[in-house]
Structure 1
Amino acid sequence: MTDEQYLAWLKNPAAVRMVLIEAQVNVAGAEVTRYIASREYVTGPSDTPANTVYRAVAKGGLAFTEQVSLTGEAALSGGDIELDNGDGALDSWLGDVWRNRRIRAWRGDPAWPRADFRLVFDGIVDDVGSSSRETVNLVLRDKMQRLNTPISEAKLGGTSTNKDAVLPIPFGECHNVSPLLTNPATLEYGFLGAVESVFEVRTNGKPVPVDAGAPGRFKMQINPLASTVTCSVQGDNGAGYAPRIAPLVRRIATAYGKPADRFTDADLDLVNLAAFDAAHQQPVGLYVADRTNQALAIQQLAASVGAQAIMSATGKLRLVQIALPAPGTPVEIGPDQMLANSLRPAERLPVVAAVKIAFDRNYTVQGALTTSIPPEHADLYATEWLTETVVDETVQARYRLTDDPVQIETCLKRRVDANAEARRRLALRSVPRTIYELDGEPELNVLELGAPVVLRDQRWGLAAGAPGVVVMLQRHWMTGRVTVGGLV
């Protein structure tokens, strides 16, 4: 079935629609797949899976909401499937283990072969519950939940006093970190795994000579005694040293965390990541010295340029930066693409007159250093962040706003990049912005978060069309319709 045929079927009001669901679940210690549908369906002998009955118990929910945050924090995407349990036949399902198991949904026609159904969701079950005596409810989350686990729990081991310490991991270039003492007998310090280079090793801020050790390690030539040992490091190079956001996101998602939950390239939107990398070449650095969460680390990197790591509805990790105008060819959304009178203002964003970006973090703050280093160097080692602030005085006066905004901490390394990012954010937020929502026709299912659109309506000053960017999508699996949130 071609895309054109599928879209024509979606737009046909007489079409019979149904949803097929395949959910993994642990039953009495065994991993099994449950086959669920919104109406009866049995696959044929040549289908995959063959001769399989999908149990017609899905009766509600059957939608998933995707959204991006406009504050740099991770936005929650989720949904719900309501299962008919009026006769109590599903009571035992509440005792099974559904959490963090994969679940997928396909949409199609009861008359179609299984292969013609289209995937509309690939995520995980967050939990199972019951909202009433007659229902069992599956709470859905996107696959980013699989990365809700520490990047690493690898400890040094051995018999030294640091045996229970988690080995630190540098990603990109990290300034003035505290490496772990890995061998007191040989004065060896270092990190988990190989790194690109270690430089500027210091004791109490004063440069000292060192010898190379094992991969990711170095040895002090002189006993530092009670001095604080720090260094700067170009970090993890297991897949080649690339101190940029997209390569580091890919590395953290696929090479760290629990092996069973790690992403593979099949879980990534590689085209999106390549495009993002081409557009965002800024060097970054993130030092992980504890049980930092994978998803949190990824979001910290992405948020450095006002972006967010999200999962598409079909389970691909993407990096999306909210920008106006958004890159790409915009999709026109006018009266023909939405239900009549469905466009409405959903949220007004506050105007800002100044943006303050923190960059080049000093990971070991050292105040009042007494070693023989220049005073300006001592001042730098006593400061955790360098900052760059951009102010629009006209907006500040007009809206009576402060020119001392809340500091936005990033993984950026260079002042020029911090200044450019501050200016980009100020340009986006120094004018009034509105999020409009609308109930879209099936053809708007092609939209992804971050996609450019042009909104047209006779209300709200949109008669001539206004450029926008998609920040929310709620896909309704049964009807094929989609609720769209667009920032204008």
Structure 2
Amino acid sequence: MNDVNFLAWLKNPLAIPLVLIEVAVRVSGVETTKYFSTGVFVTGPADTPSNLAYEPIVSTGVQFSEQLSLDGEASLSTGDIELSNANGERDGWLGAGSVWTNRPVRAWIGDPRWPRADFRMIFNGIVADIAPKGRDMLALKLRDKMQRLNAPATESKLASSLNADAVLPLSFGEVHNITPLLVDPVMLQYQVHDGACESIFEVRDNGLPVAAVAVNSTGKLTLNANPVGAITVSVQGDKPGAYVNTIAALVKRLVTGYGSAADRFTSADLDIASLAAFDAAHQQPVGLYLQGRTNVISACQSLTASVGAQMALSRLGQLRLIQIALPAPGTPTEIRPAHIVGYTLEPTVRPEVVAAVKLGFCKNWTVQPGLQTSIPAQHKELFATEWLTATSTNASAQTIYRQTLDPAQQDTMLLRRVDAEAEAARQLALWSSPRMVYEFEGLPEMLMLELGQPIVIYNQRFGMEAGVPGIVISLAPNWESAHCKVGILV
């Protein structure tokens, strides 16, 4: 079933939409799969699975929303599936014997006259929990799979008499002047990464370079002499195979190699082509140092926000990185009045115009004011400063909109001034002109849109007569009505 045929079916008044749900649940200690639907459906002998009857107990199909955040914070899709419980025959599903939490759930839509293989996947996520919805209904609360990343990147501990509860640190990309974990005070041994790293290339004692023996294969170093003050280290970090230091590569490494082992993403959870395209477009080197129980999703967001991007999942449940940009990359889709239900197009949010963007970069991970060692004064100043900064300003916007030219600093994991200056200028160009978020109810063609997709919208209102470029930032599909509520930034 290709896109053309699928769209033709969505637009066909004789189509009979049917949603199939497959959800995992632990029943009496045994992991199993339940099969639900919005109508009667039995797979054929040649289908996979074959000759299987789905329970027609789903009352509303799948209702969920997808959204990109304009402030860069990760936004998880939400929604639910309503299940019939009219006679109380499924009351037991609320009991301790049935565990639905954090189990995978997938949904497809198609026509009951189709073979199972022609159904189109519309959701691939997890169940947050099951809950009653009145006396006669149950609701499976949905979350997208990014919820699996909402766990500490590591819980590995030192497990020594010195500090048994100390969580081992993690270094990604290049990080400067970090405070390593003291592993053995007798042997003067420290650790900068739980595993192999590319290079431990600079060790300092109160800012003064000192000799040490580094073992990159273990992420550890041993001082040659007792320290006088605070030990800091600069590192090129995590190296499971090849060393990487770009945003997409490090996000991929974090989501597949860290966090709860049972919840880590696999290659099947990644949109490989999309991630490769993002990586090719964003080669800026970055660095991130994790101490304690930082969540994987928070660590990834620190990286992606460095270039005004964020993580999102496709309807196939595959991870993508999307940058809020105008014009958005790619070939735009035209949206015309014929694609919009009636007069539903309306403005909803007007983001604030800014006259300046200030980014922090090249983080000094251990701030050391007042060093007394014999290093140059310029170096002492650097060690006393947490962030270098790059600021891009627009004097015209400042005058017109009476905005400040000294905005609040946005911290990034970027390392180079040239990259920070370029990103500050990009963000300023985006937000120093008036922008608007519009929403509308779209006809079947709009069900084919995806988050981050470039569009050009035409309308007789809002100055759109000649077409205005934009980017899709929210989608709330209703597959049964073949409509979709769309949010765009223009």
Instruction: Name 1:479's counterpart in structure 2.
Output: 481
CA distance in 1 between counterparts of 2:294 and 2:446 reads 38
Equivalent in the alignment of 1:188: 189
Q: Is the Cα–Cα contact under 8 Å of residues 308 and 324 in structure 2 kept in the other structure?
A: yes
List aligned pairs for 1:156-235, cutoff 5 A.
Answer: 156-159=158-161, 161-190=162-191, 191-213=193-215, 215-225=218-228, 227-235=229-237
Q: Separation in 2 of the partners of 1:379 and 1:449?
A: 44
Q: Deviations over 1:23-64 (max 9, x none)?
A: 111122211111111111111222111222211111126222
Q: Secondary structure at the match of 2:273?
A: helix
- The alignment yields a C-alpha RMSD, in angstroms, of 1.2
Q: Distance in 2 between matches of 1:478 and 1:382?
A: 60
Distance 1:61 1:43, change over 3 A: closer
Distance 1:481 1:253 in 2: 33
Pairs aligned (count) = 486
Q: How far apart are 1:260 and its partner, in Å?
A: 1.0
Contact 1:239 1:251 in 2 (8 A): no
Match of 1:459 among 461, 465, 475: 461
* Corresponding position of 2:433: 431
Moved more, 310-319 or 335-344: 335-344
Other-structure match for 1:48: 48
TM-score, reference length from structure 1: 0.97
**Partners of 2:173 and 2:451 in 1: how far apart?**
27
1:417 aligns with 2:409: no
**Contact kept in structure 1, 2:76 and 2:146, CA below 8 Å:** no
Provide the C-alpha distance between the structure 1 equivalents of 2:311 and 2:62, rounded to a whole number of angstroms: 24
Number of the residue aligned with 1:81: 81
The answer for the alignment partner of 2:114 in structure 1 is: 112
Q: Report deviation, 1:450.
A: 0.9
Shift of 1:201: 0.4
CA contact (8 A) 1:61 1:79 kept: no
Aligned-partner residue type, residue 168 of structure 1: P
Distance 1:12 1:366 in 2: 68
For the residue of structure 1 that corresponds to 2:440, the secondary structure is strand
Q: Counterpart amino acid of 1:207?
A: P
Which digits, 9 at most, give the CA deviation of each residue in 1:192-234, with x for residues without a partner?
A: 1011001220011111011133521111001115x11101100
Query: Equivalent residue for 1:38?
Result: 38
Per-residue CA distance 1:99-154 (angstroms, 9 max, x = gap):
11100000011111111111111001112112211210111111000111111111
Contact 1:123/1:140 (8 A) holds in 2: yes
Cα deviation, residue 348, structure 1: 1.1
**Structure 1 residue 24 corresponds to structure 2 residue 24:** yes
User: Aligned partners of 1:482, 1:110: CA distance in 2, in Å?
Assistant: 22
Letter in 1 for 2:250: L
Mapped contact 2:156–2:168 kept (Cα < 8 A):
yes
**Equivalent residues of 2:172, 2:236 under 8 A apart:** yes
Which residue is 2:92 aligned to? 92
CA-CA distance at 1:331 after TM superposition: 0.1
Q: 1:311 aligns with which of 307, 310, 313?
A: 313
Aligned counterparts of 1:401 and 1:130: Cα–Cα separation in 2: 50
Q: Distance in 2 between matches of 1:109 and 1:61?
A: 13
Contact 2:200/2:214 (<8 A) preserved: no
| CA apart distance, 1:287 | 0.2
Whole-angstrom distance in 1 between the partners of 2:263 and 2:471: 32
Q: Which amino acid in the other structure matches residue 66 of structure 1?
A: E
- Equivalent positions of 1:105-144 (< 5 A) are 105-144=107-146
The aligned counterpart of 1:387 is 389
Contact 2:158 2:183 in 1 (8 A): yes
Q: Give the letter for the 1:385 counterpart.
A: W
After superposition, the C-alpha distances for 1:371-404 in whole angstroms (9 at most, x for unaligned) are: 1111121111111111111111111111111122
How far apart are residue 262 of structure 1 and its match? 0.7
Corresponding letter in the other structure for 1:173: E
Q: Which residue of 1 aligns with 2:149?
A: 147
Cα contact 1:244–1:277 (8 A) shared by 2: yes
Instruction: Give the match for residue 71 of structure 2.
Output: 71
Map 1:297-376 onto structure 2 (within 5 A). Answer: 297-376=299-378
CA distance in 2, matches of 1:87, 1:57: 12
Aligned 8 A contact 1:63 1:79 in 2:
yes
SS in structure 2 opposite 1:419? helix
Name the aligned partner's letter for residue 113 of structure 2. Answer: A
Report the alpha carbon displacement of residue 357 of structure 1 after superposing the two structures with TM. Answer: 0.3
**Structure 1 residue 455: Cα displacement:** 0.6
Distance 1:457 1:3 in 2: 26
> Unaligned regions of 5+ residues in structure 2, if any?
none
Does the 8 A contact of 2:312 with 2:319 survive in 1?
A: yes
**Counterpart of 2:261 in 1: which secondary structure?**
coil
Residues 285-332 of structure 1, C-alpha deviations (whole Å, 9 max, x = no match): 000111110011111110100000111121000000010011111000
SS at match of 2:94: helix
Equivalent position of 1:10 in the other structure: 10
d(CA) in 1 for partners of 2:464, 2:357:
29
Question: 2:68 is matched by which residue type in structure 1?
Answer: V
Write the distance in 2 (CA, Å) between the matches of 1:106 and 1:140.
15
Distance 2:364 2:43 in 1: 60
